[in-house]
Chains A and B, each alone.
Chain A
Amino acid sequence: MIEQILTPWRWQTLLTQWPTLLRAFLTTLEASVLALLLALVLGVIFGLMSTSHHRLPRVVARIYVEFFQNTPLMIQLFFVFFALPYVGVSLPAFACGVLCVGVYTGAYISEVVRAGIQSIPLGQFEAAHSQGFTYLQTMLLIILPQTARIILPPLVNQCVNLIKNTSVLAMIAGGDLMYVANNWATNGNASYGPAYLIIGVLYFLLCFPLSTWARRYEEKLQRQDTQRPAAGKEAAA
């Protein structure tokens, strides 16, 4: 691996194929954005359901979260890609990947949203109710905006996980970065050293700014909370 990375001609052959790489990068990006949208929608819906007063939505949300958090993304993906065609449902690889990564991350985001909602004092709900807000209005206009401060860091961390997880597209020939690198690794030149290094750096460039921002923001919140113990409540009130 190391000697491959230090061999100039391997880099030259790889870099002549930069359009492939660019296309793969865009595929990864596209898959990430689409899956993130799906995950956010599902996350908010199931997050709201898991804080509901009724038992049924809570149970449904619980099952969704437990199932998707406790089984591997890979097996969910393989199920959709290899098993569902037996009952006549065949999706293209890219759609499969986006769907599975989105639904999988949605389970994590719903837990983040739930924790956010539960951190808002009960009085807020009562106050909104007494002012005649409906449930949806209360959630969308009053509760969810307030949770943003707390849930942004874990949300961004989930986004980083999601970007990393789109690499499972490679398993079903989804044409993403990981897939292209695997191809380079197994074709005639076997230039896996440079290939994996390039895509490693590309993934890093996508994820590092996000995760660093999330950590800084979280540390800032912690500092504020320890300096002014009541800060969280004041900001919420």
Chain B
Amino acid sequence: MFDQLADLFTPTVLLYLLRGFAITLRVAVIAILLSILFGTILGLIRAYAPKPLRMLAGAYIEWFRNTPHLLWVMVCFIAAPLPSDWARCAMAYVLFTSAMMAEVVRGGLNAIPKGQFEAAHSQGFTLMGTLRYIILPQCFRRIVPTMLSQIITVVKDTSFMAQVAVAELLFRTKNLMSIFYNVVGRQITALDVFLLFGFAMLLYFLVNFALSCIVRYLQKRNHTGLPHR
């Protein structure tokens, strides 16, 4: 067993897989940062903007929330106006994760009483000031757990890129199965396949499990901590 481990995970193989994981993480981080930004803007529009704008944002959110993520990865891979493969895919993640985040943000905003706007206005806050200093901080405090769950989804969804041959972790894992002889220098066995998949699963699991532990910790704190309304 251990012989086989050392035999299989040579530095070449490990580096090959870890570089794939780096692409996974790069796309995930870019998608998460941009979609939190766009999602917040969309969520604010959906909650507070005048009706026509609100409906537009609503249409965007519903359209992306109710169609498969894989579809958008395919569409953006083919049609997005960006130079590299992974960037085109990243755009797909930004598109639909923004819609998801907007829903999350809207949920947080709904819980904030409208009276806060009037109170802030009476204290001389501008609209932007109110959002920046009063509304959004409360909103984000509430929604951090939900948002992290969404982030886990993004990390998992990056594996869709394997379908369009972006060499992320899952693609490389599967690819190793076909180029195994050239890389390791012997025929592939069942144990090798299981170890390869096990390694890839472990990497995904470590990142996501860490995130989900944070979710649970925050949820518990939100429930038992100070009243956060």
Contacts and interface: CB of A to CB of B under 8 A. Distances in A.
Interface of A: 1, 66-67, 69-75, 78-79, 82-83, 86-87, 160, 164-168, 170-171, 178, 181-182, 185, 192-193, 196, 199-200, 203-204, 207-208, 211-212
B190 A87 contact: yes
Contact of B174 (A67, A72, A82, A212): A82
Interface of B: 62-63, 65-71, 74-75, 78-79, 152, 155-160, 162-163, 170, 173-174, 177, 189-190, 193-194, 197, 200-201, 204-205, 208-209, 212
A207 B170 contact: no
Nearest to B204: A71
A142 B125 CA distance: 52
19 contacts: A67-B205, A69-B152, A69-B208, A70-B205, A70-B209, A71-B208, A74-B159, A75-B201, A75-B204, A82-B174, A86-B190, A160-B66, A167-B68, A192-B74, A192-B75, A196-B75, A200-B67, A203-B68, A211-B66
Given A87-B190, A208-B66, A72 B209 contact: no
B156 to A, nearest CB: 4
A73 to B, nearest CB: 7
B66 A204 contact: yes
Given A192-B78, A196-B71, 9 more contacts: A66-B209, A73-B156, A74-B162, A75-B197, A83-B190, A83-B193, A86-B193, A164-B69, A204-B67
Of A72, A82, A83, A167, most buried by chain B (CB within 10 Å of CB) is A72
Contact of A164 (B68, B159, B189): B68
- The secondary-structure label for the interface of chain B is helix
A182 B77 CA distance: 12
Given A1-B78, A83-B194, A72 B68 contact: no
A87 B190 CA distance: 6
Nearest to A74: B159
A208 B177 contact: no
A75 B78 contact: no
Nearest to A199: B71
Contacts of B200: 75
B212 A69 contact: yes
B157 A72 contact: yes
A209 to B, nearest CB: 9
Contacts of A70: 152, 156, 204-205, 208-209, 212
B197 A83 contact: yes
A167 B70 contact: yes
Contacts of B70: 167-168, 170-171, 178
A47 B224 CA distance: 24
Contacts of A170: 70, 163
A66 B170 CA distance: 19
Nearest to A211: B66
A235 to B, nearest CB: 21
A72 B163 CA distance: 14
A164 B200 CA distance: 24
Contacts of B157: 72
B62 A208 contact: yes
Nearest to A4: B79
A74 B189 CA distance: 22
Given A83-B193, A207-B66, A208-B62, A167 B174 contact: no
A181 B160 CA distance: 16
Nearest to A226: B111
B67 A203 contact: yes
Contact of A72 (B74, B79, B194, B204): B204
B216 to A, nearest CB: 11
Contacts of B177: 82
Contact of A75 (B67, B152, B159): B159
A14 to B, nearest CB: 16
B206 to A, nearest CB: 9
A65 to B, nearest CB: 10
Nearest to B152: A70
